[in-house]
Amino acid sequence: MIVDGVFSGGGIKGFAYVGAIRALEEKGVKFERVAGTSAGAILATFIAAGFNTKELEEIFDELNLKVLLDPPKFIIELPFLKWLNLYKRMGLYRGKSLENWFLEKLATKGIYTFGDLPKGILKLVASDLTNGKILVLPDDLHHYNIDPKSFPVSRALRMSCGLPFFFEPVYLKNGRRESVIVDGGVLSNFPMWIYDNGNRERPVLGMKLSSSSEDKKPHDINNGIQLFEALFSTMQNAHDNRYISRRHEKNIIFIPVEEYSATQFDLDEATKNKLMGIGKERTIQFLKTWSPVW
């Protein structure tokens, strides 16, 4: 079966996608076009670049997550200054190591810019905070007077994965003004709407790193930290939850990994394997009864 795929954000929990893709490949499900936000953007990009399941498993099995965290040198020497950096540069980590890792992996497939990919095969979501709008890459780059064909895919991925306050924002120049770009999950963490535009060519299969709306538990809010977590979670999902209907949910694989942290960069091998196992098992169960609705 040929489908279009949409992947939600979820940070480090995205390891579950590797197991899910293995289950889909074993059942003969293939992707024609893919879209995603944050962690989902990484998976979508690697699929569009031509990585198969075996290659994905090797890439993520070898990945040392801590290497992707790159605080400025003065913070390594004087850790107490990290809060000053957070205030001045709006992120604890620069994000250069993350972008370079994307560049290195994509280069093995000869993918550097969106011009190296078939047109329309990949769409990534980021958030333009300056203008208060969802940014779809590469489609919306012309609004910034940028040629999409020449724009680095690794930079677009870095933008989509720029978790606020964790990674420094990316800046896009548009004439004299600079737009501050952060993680796509701020405005649309699960962009099922990208391919549901009234002119579908094939079924759209969504993959979401959370329980379904029926199984979700309400937020416990008893202190300031819980309030912030509930606020950010609601903000991430409000736009998408308004869009997703019961009809859409029949085409979504829900992978319940809420107990894991999106920024757990010290993930051990056992937890990686557990996440992959959850993704594979949930996908196998979904495919047993799935009848595409479109």
Active site residue 291: no
- The two tokens of residue 121 are 């095969």
User: Of 4, 70, 128, 183, which residue is the catalytic one?
Assistant: 183
Return d(Cα 82, Cα 240) in angstroms, integer: 34
User: Of 38, 127, 154, 210, which residue is the catalytic one?
Assistant: 38
Give φ, ψ of 79 to 5 degrees: -55, -30
Active site residue 183: yes
Return the active site residues.
38, 183
